[in-house]
Amino acid sequence: MNVRDIQTALKAAGFDPGPIDGVRGRNTIAAIKAFQQKNGLPADGIVGPKTAEKLFKGTAPAGARFDTPGTMPWLQTAFELMGTREKPGKGSNEAILGWAHDLEILSYNDDDIPWCGLFVAHCIGSQLPDEALPNNPLGARAWEKFGLKATPQLGAVMVFWRGSKTSGLGHVGFYWAEDDEAYHILGGNQSNAVTITRLARDRLVQARWPRTVPPPTGIVRLADKQGKVLSQNEA
């Protein structure tokens, strides 16, 4: 089940998601919420099992699962942005600057400014418009108070210290997987790009979960190390 499947079903049910383009934009989110309200479901904008059962009349598309990033739109957006990177030399990647513009962070005008927090804010802000973001989303450690406290699991916002536990510096990204030494973090500003990077487990400060979505699923994904080096500095 993908966004295009959802948009097609919404349109057939009389709820306009905008263009059938596979993009979970504001029109699609509004259509999902309107469908949920009409069908007596919590209007959270997330197509989980109960919404899918109503929307697809008991027959979800082939391959539909509800333990994957597709049911966590903020994580799906993050994954789709894999490979986005800073512009080398002078100038900036306009896509990264566009995230700041959409969030009305007027002070952000150069992709040399650390953007791990901006990446997380973009993924959550664009997909969960009712979710409150930190007052300073650019600050990685500001995400320690985001949403609700959670355990490390698929889709969680993961906050790490950098330099030292008391430095006030940090890094933030999304849980993707883990091994016995590290969390595998899908995040921005990791080697100047959106990547999946291993961060040492003992650097974790907080795991957080959005307030405006269904409760955490507790999904933990194990991964092998494949010789990847533990990241020590994501600046």
The pLDDT value given to residue 61: 60
Find residue 173's DSSP bridge partners.
158
pLDDT at 170: 97
**CA 39 – CA 15 distance, rounded (Å):** 12
Where are the alpha helices (H) located in the chain, listed in sequence order? Answer: 3-12, 26-38, 49-55, 73-80, 94-102, 116-127
Structural contact between residues 199 and 182, judged by C-beta atoms closer than 8 angstroms: yes
Under DSSP, the state recorded for 160 is: E
Q: Which of 132, 131, 129 is nearest to 27 (CA)?
A: 129
> What integer pLDDT is reported at residue 111 of this predicted model?
94
Where exactly are the structural domains of the chain?
A: 3-66, 73-209
How many other C-beta atoms are found inside a 10 Å radius of the C-beta of residue 68?
A: 15
3-66 has which fold? Muramoyl-pentapeptide Carboxypeptidase; domain 1 (1.10.101)
Q: What pLDDT does residue 227 have?
A: 41
Residue showing tokens 């590290």: 182
Whether this prediction's pTM lies above 0.75 is answered by yes
pLDDT of residue 154: 94
Rounded (10°) angle between helices 94-102 and 116-127 = 60
Rg value, the chain, Cα: 18
Q: What's the rounded Cα separation, in Å, for the pair 137 and 119?
A: 9
Using CA atoms, how far residue 218 sits from 53, 63, 204, in Å, is 22, 21, 17
Residue type, position 175, single letter: Y
User: What contacts 136, CB < 8 A, 6 or more positions away?
Assistant: 117, 142
**Please, what CATH class does the domain formed by 73-209 belong to?**
alpha beta
Q: What is the pLDDT at residue 60?
A: 62
* Token pair for 194: 């959106």
d(CA 30, CA 191): 36
pLDDT at 136: 96
What percent of the chain clears pLDDT 90, i.e. is strictly above it? 68
Residues of the chain where predicted confidence (pLDDT) is lower than 70: 60-70, 227-235
CB atoms within 10 A of CB 135: 8
pLDDT at residue 96, as a whole number: 96
